[in-house]
Copies of this chain bind each other. A is one copy, B any other.
Amino acid sequence: MARETGRGGTSAAPRSMDVARLAGVSQKTVSRVFNNEAYVSAEVRGRVLAAAAELGYRRNNAARALASGRTRSIGVVTLGTALYGPASLLMGVERAVRDTGYALRVVNTVEGDPTGIAGAVDSLLDQGVDGIVISEPIDESGDGDGAGSEVSVHVDVPVLVCGAPPPFAAPKVLAAGVGADQLARTVTEHLLGLGHLTVHHLAGPQRWYAARDRSAGWRAALAAQDRREPPLVEGDWSAASGYAAGRELACDPDVTAVFAANDDMAIGLIRALTEAGRRVPDDVSVVGFDDTPVAAYVTPPLTTVRQPFDAVAQDGIKRLVHAIENPRADPLAASEPPVDLIVRASTAPPPAGRDTSAHH
């Protein structure tokens, strides 16, 4: 097949050979210049760059990938939601990946997807990636009817998982986490510190590891102070589920403080509480999780914590790239994410009659 230069005189994309010819060097030298390899005289480099600019040359990535065996791209598995947390994490990952010079491929799993995360990973592997990020893992073990609904994938690239063990073996598995457990512990302690006897918990779906982390932090905080652990109420992250939970919680006079696993649920919860005649924060304190953009502007402004998505993504991607480029080196250590509690008006000491902290 002779190279068609048709299209009415518009020539096809120039190749490195064309640049080489124009610059009067070998094709290999062009390659050297574009890969920033050593041993190219400044003079030659300049000529090559000029020729390339004149021709509008850009390297063909497919050819590069084929010849080198590396795709220079990283795949990320996300959840198909516009929820603030997952969306923020994805943005953080995109930026971090871009900073490293890799390209980003995205696949999302929808909850209830039969092939799930494994299917998404598989499709990423099909596309060709040098590393994979699983940004919001959920536990799919209880999915189908039987236990064997797993698509077993043979992953041969490093994987970064945010907050959970991956359901498959990989040459190198790195963990990252926003430190949600620590964050959850901090908000629970904030409530306890205000004098509440215990703290109720409106959790996220426990299939999500992100939800489990928060629940674990809440539990740890209660246990550390020997407090009674009320039954956990499970929502689905939505304000609607927070509202539903709120209607139940409102009936229980023992409820004076609630930790909601995200801001949306906290907002629905507050609405239900208010409608039931329980004032926030006078009768019941509520804390959220995420510090979404509206958190400061709802009524009452929400006490919440901010998750360090950007910092965590940056750190995680740095380690992933290290693992990709140094297959046999030890993985880099993860850095500790910061904790950022934002106290606003939805939390206060418990109503006078119920504050027994003074009696101790």
Question: Hey, what's the 0/1 contact readout for A251-283 against B, CB within 8 Å counting as 1?
Answer: 000000000000010011001001000000000
Question: Hey, what's the 0/1 contact readout for A38-67 against B, CB within 8 Å counting as 1?
Answer: 000000000000000000101111111110
Contact status of A128 and B82, CB under 8 A, knowing A108-B94, A296-B239 = no
* CB under 8 Å from chain B, chain A span 49-95: 56, 58-66, 71, 73, 80-84, 87-88, 91, 94-95
A95 contacts which chain B residues (CB < 8 A)? 80, 108, 110
27 residue pairs A–B, Cβ–Cβ below 8 Å: A13-B156, A56-B154, A58-B126, A60-B128, A61-B127, A62-B62, A62-B63, A62-B64, A62-B66, A63-B66, A73-B105, A82-B88, A82-B91, A87-B87, A94-B107, A95-B110, A98-B123, A104-B105, A104-B106, A106-B106, A239-B293, A239-B296, A267-B297, A268-B297, A271-B297, A298-B299, A299-B299
Complex contact B243–A297 (CB within 8 A): yes
Complex contact A126–B239 (CB within 8 A): no
Contact status of A296 and B84, CB under 8 A, knowing A105-B103, A105-B104, A107-B104 = no
Contact status of A298 and B296, CB under 8 A, knowing A80-B94, A106-B94 = no
Which of B13, B98, B127, B296 is within 8 Å of A107, CB to CB?
B98
In the complex, whether A131 has a CB less than 8 A from a CB of chain B is no
In the complex, whether A339 has a CB less than 8 A from a CB of chain B is no
* C-alpha gap A66/B123 in the complex (Å): 20
Interface centre among A59, A62, A267 (most CB of B within 10 A): A62
In the complex, whether A294 has a CB less than 8 A from a CB of chain B is yes
Q: How many copies altogether?
A: 2
In the complex, whether A238 has a CB less than 8 A from a CB of chain B is yes
Task: Output the least CB separation between A1 and chain B (Å).
Answer: 10
Complex contact A91–B84 (CB within 8 A): no
Interface centre among A64, A87, A154 (most CB of B within 10 A): A87
- CB-based nearest B residue for A98: B107
Which of B13, B61, B268 is within 8 Å of A294, CB to CB?
B268
Complex contact B128–A108 (CB within 8 A): no
Which of B64, B110, B271, B296 is within 8 Å of A240, CB to CB?
B296
Contact status of A87 and B80, CB under 8 A, knowing A105-B103, A298-B267 = no
In the complex, whether A242 has a CB less than 8 A from a CB of chain B is yes
6 smallest beta-carbon distances between A and B, as pairs: A62-B65, A239-B297, A87-B87, A82-B87, A62-B66, A82-B88
